[in-house]
Amino acid sequence: MDVESSNVLVVKDVYGEDLSPPDVNDLMTGLVTKVRESFPLVQGAVLRADQKKVLVNLGRKASLKAQMKLLIFRCTGDDPAKQASTDEECDADTEVLDEAFVDEVSDERSQGTLRQGKAAIKEADRVITK
């Protein structure tokens, strides 16, 4: 459930006949695993941005779904040549630029609407699922 929009994002269930405390614990562990798998933590890059829209290099193949949220950030102090690579860890601090709500998802790319649209988001800024 998205607490801001009240949209149901995922529905998962588990089943067990024995409801003893250890079995209920196992069922809850299974439920947590299913929900976690529905919202993978993946990182990518901005391909294009304008005032209110952002296109990123993550899509269905990266398990991105419509209505998911992305955090858009920039590694500050990084070597500019490394900033285009999403495989590298940030060598310095990060600056959170905005948040995006994923509207459209294709196999390899997704488009989202920026929440604030005030920051100067540019190509090669990074995104991570939230």
Q: Which of 28-42, 67-81, 94-108, 114-128 has the highest mean pLDDT?
A: 94-108
Q: Using CA of residue 54, residue 55, residue 58, residue 64, what is the dihedral sign?
A: positive
Give residue 26's pLDDT. 92
Each residue's pLDDT tens digit, 51-83: 899 999 999 999 898 889 999 999 887 555 554
Q: Where are the domains of the chain?
A: 1-38, 43-129
Q: What is the spatial distance between Cα 55 and Cα 77, in angstroms, rounded to a whole number?
A: 24
Q: How confident is the model at residue 84 (pLDDT cuts 50, 70, 90)?
A: very low
> How confident is the prediction for the chain on average, in pLDDT?
85
> E-assigned strands of the chain?
43-49, 53-56, 69-75, 94-105, 110-114, 126-129
Helix residue ranges, H only, the chain: 21-38
Each residue's pLDDT tens digit, 1-30: 667 777 777 788 888 888 899 999 999 999
Name the CATH topology of 43-129: Thrombin, subunit H (2.40.10)
Q: How confident is the model at residue 37 (pLDDT cuts 50, 70, 90)?
A: confident
Give residue 39's pLDDT. 79
